[in-house]
Amino acid sequence: MRLIVCWGTFPTPGGHPCKDAYDALRAAGHEPTVEKAYGHTLLPDAIANRSPGRREAKARTGKPTVPILVLDDDTTVADSSNIVAWAKANPAR
C-alpha cells in the first residue's frame, strides 16, 4: 500500500490531514510506503501540481488533492477522513 502525502507526515499546529491519515494507518497496524507529492492544491496545476504524486492523485480522483491511499489491489481511497475510516475498518492482520 502507498500513501501519497503533500510534504510529509510531521506534526503541525492544529493537525494536518496527511499526518492524520498516516497515523490512522499505523495505529491499525499498516506500514504504508509514503510518497511525497509536493505542490499545493490552491495553485493552478500548471504551476504547482506537476509532481508525479499530484499528477497521480488527479488521475485517480480528478483532483490533485492529497492524501490518497493506493491499496495493493490498486483501489484508491481519497481524503484523510476516508483513509482514517478505512484504516479503522480494515486493521492489519
Q: Which three cell numbers stand for residue 33?
A: 510506503
Q: How far apart are CA 23 and CA 80, in angstroms?
A: 10
What does the DSSP 8-state code read for residue 50?
-
The pLDDT score that the predictor gives to residue 53 is: 87
Q: What is the pTM of this model?
A: 0.87
Give the span between the Cα atoms of 15 and 21, in whole angstroms: 11
- The per-residue pLDDT for range 17-60, each reduced to its tens digit, is 999 999 999 999 999 999 998 776 666 666 666 778 888 999 99
Domains along the chain with CATH numbers: 14-89 (3.40.30)
Quick check: bond before 67 cis, omega within 30?
yes
Three-point CA angle 32, 55, 71, nearest 5° = 30
- Greater model confidence, 92 or 11: 92
Q: Report whether 83 contacts 24 (CB < 8 A).
A: yes
